[in-house]
Chains A and B, each alone.
Chain A
Amino acid sequence: QKEVEQNSGPLSVPEGAIASLNCTYSDRGSQSFFWYRQYSGKSPELIMFIYSNGDKEDGRFTAQLNKASQYVSLLIRDSQPSDSATYLCAVNLRPGNQGGKLIFGQGTELSVKP
């Protein structure tokens, strides 16, 4: 089992719809979770992080964390063609004083159709 798993997609949604991206992780002790967006040919860009169970909203983005089920998701409301990118889920397996070693999933490719 991979440490961080995502559906590779591609996930295709129409413009204005809600895009739902999911991620599961294997280490129950993980404490911090991140979503990065990567446009083709560009570097990953941090868009959300979440530490506590529940929802965290930032504009059109909502991150959801369920530690008991070991999954984290990202919802994108009112999807726009400019949201078309690969979304990488990352999990910090060694939080606190051991620093920020992130393990990334393979990424989910999102395509928003006009």
Chain B
Amino acid sequence: DAGVIQSPRHEVTEMGQEVTLRCKPISGHDYLFWYRQTMMRGLELLIYFNNNVPIDDSGMPEDRFSAKMPNASFSTLKIQPSEPRDSAVYFCASGERGGGDTQYFGPGTRLTVL
């Protein structure tokens, strides 16, 4: 099993640019989660999907952030326009059937907005 796959692993962009992060969950997992981790705020849940449907997006910081899951094997997190305070590590995680409690994390995307 390849595990959760994220791309890119590193992204450096300038303020105002659009950023798209990508995630491929583990095959057969019904739940997909997007997290952001910073030193100040720790690991925060941004949004999660069940069977490709967004269930809870209360953690999305503002309208500049959007997430989609067009099919069971692909999800994107988009930031438009990006700001320096968006600099963080963004993790995607997927969960097994039966409630999604057990989550497996991808390697993360380190985003730097200059």
List the interface of chain A (C-beta within 8 A of B): 32, 34, 42-46, 49, 88, 92, 95-107
Contacts and interface: CB of A to CB of B under 8 A. Distances in A.
B100 A43 contact: no
A21 to B, nearest CB: 15
Interface string B38-74: 0000111100101000011000000000000000000
Is chain A's binding surface mostly helix, strand, loop or mixed? mixed
Contacts, number: 56
A98 B48 CA distance: 11
Nearest to B41: A106
Nearest to B44: A104
Contacts of B107: 42-43
Interface residues of B, number: 22
B100 A46 contact: no
A34 B102 CA distance: 8
13 contacts: A43-B106, A43-B107, A46-B103, A49-B101, A49-B102, A88-B43, A99-B100, A100-B31, A100-B33, A100-B99, A100-B101, A104-B43, A106-B42
Contacts of B95: 100
